[in-house]
């Protein structure tokens, strides 16, 4: 699907067809959309690269068109197990327009469509590009805080009951952090190379915005690394707790088995069909079971004294 927008009097408006100085937004393009994009001068390989979820952030210049792929955060509501993911966003800057290509609708571009982003214009293509970068870093930081909050909730649940469900949830959060860290580092390299290449015509305030974007991206990388280390440490700690709890249970069962061996041995001996002491006494059962019980108690007390119960 391709839609066209242009800013007039500082307001973004949708238009029916392409005109110079507009924004062309293509989401999950089909074959007809690919043909229309090619008619605008967009390379076909770039279109399919922008739809490849494994594509890394990069940029290149082909004559008068700048091709950029940036990795943006994406909340996948259809995957409750691992909702925080990343996807590539292709941005092509032509002499007359800015074109975005993605395989999914995302909140970054939706913020522009819903007029949540100020100070941007489709006629100022490079500033528009920086605003897209800026919204991407904002959502990275926002989603990282959400991941941290979820990990705290899971940690509280683990303190009450150590179950596989919570450990799997922590593993899924760590997977999201791996996605974020990889994409953020890829973006960092792309930002640094794009800045050094000097192919963007930026005003002074735009250069300051670009510097802020790079700094926020580094902050997001550091936050993702810290949260990943914390999650890894918690998973290791709770895995040790589970293992220790299992050892305690096995130890208690072993102690109970050892203590019960004495009455069981006595019962086994007196269950044999041979002549045994006290077999004629009417108190034989009480005497044998009482003695075996006393011995079992003494044995259990001895185990307690040598700290087997701890």
Q: Could you report the per-residue pLDDT of 30-68, keeping only the tens digit for each?
A: 999 999 999 999 999 999 999 998 899 999 988 889 999
Query: Which of 69-73, 144-148, 176-180, 256-260 shows the lowest mean pLDDT across its residues?
Result: 256-260
> Are residues 22 and 122 in contact, defined by beta-carbon separation less than 8 angstroms?
yes
Beta bridge partners of 8: 11
- Per-residue pLDDT, 136: 93
> Are residues 114 and 62 in contact, defined by beta-carbon separation less than 8 angstroms?
no
Per DSSP bridges, beta strands 65-75 and 58-62 are antiparallel
CATH (residue range 2-243)? 3.30.460.20
176 Cβ partners below 8 Å, 6+ apart? 82, 83, 84, 85, 147
Q: Could you report the per-residue pLDDT of 90-132, keeping only the tens digit for each?
A: 999 999 899 999 998 889 999 888 888 888 888 889 999 999 9
182 or 265, which is more confident? 182
Listed by start position, the domains of the chain span: 2-243, 244-305
- Among candidate residues 7, 259, 276, the one with its CA nearest the CA of residue 115: 7
Distance CA 32, CA 198 (A): 35
């Amino acid at each position: 699907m391709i839609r066209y927008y242009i800013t007039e009097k500082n307001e973004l408006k949708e238009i029916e067809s392409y005109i110079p100085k507009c924004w062309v937004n293509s989401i999950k393009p089909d074959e007809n959309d690919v043909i229309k994009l090619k008619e605008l001068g967009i390379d076909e390989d770039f279109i399919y690269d922008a739809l490849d979820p494994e594509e890394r952030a990069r940029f290149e210049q082909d004559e008068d068109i700048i091709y950029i792929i940036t990795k943006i955060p994406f909340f996948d509501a259809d995957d409750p197990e691992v909702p925080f993911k990343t996807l590539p966003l292709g941005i092509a800057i032509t002499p007359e327009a800015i074109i975005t290509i993605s395989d999914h609708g995302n909140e970054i571009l939706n913020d522009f469509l819903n007029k949540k982003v100020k100070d941007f214009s489709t006629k100022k293509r490079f500033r528009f590009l920086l605003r897209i970068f800026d919204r991407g870093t904002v959502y990275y930081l926002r989603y990282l805080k959400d991941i941290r909050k979820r990990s705290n909730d899971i940690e509280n649940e683990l303190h009450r009951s150590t179950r596989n469900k919570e450990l799997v949830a922590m593993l899924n959060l760590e997977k999201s952090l791996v996605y974020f860290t990889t994409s953020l580092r890829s973006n960092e390299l792309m930002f640094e190379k794009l800045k050094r290449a000097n192919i963007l015509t930026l005003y002074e305030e735009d250069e300051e915005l670009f510097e802020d974007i790079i700094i926020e991206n580094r902050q997001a990388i550091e936050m993702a690394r810290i949260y990943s280390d914390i999650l890894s440490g918690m998973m290791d700690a709770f895995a040790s707790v589970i293992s220790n709890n299992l050892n305690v249970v096995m130890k208690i069962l072993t102690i109970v088995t050892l203590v019960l061996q004495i009455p069981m041995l006595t019962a086994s001996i007196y269950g044999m069909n041979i002549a045994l002491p006290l077999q004629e006494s009417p108190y034989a059962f009480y005497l044998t079971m009482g003695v075996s019980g006393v011995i079992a108690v003494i044995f259990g007390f001895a185990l307690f004294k040598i700290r087997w119960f701890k």
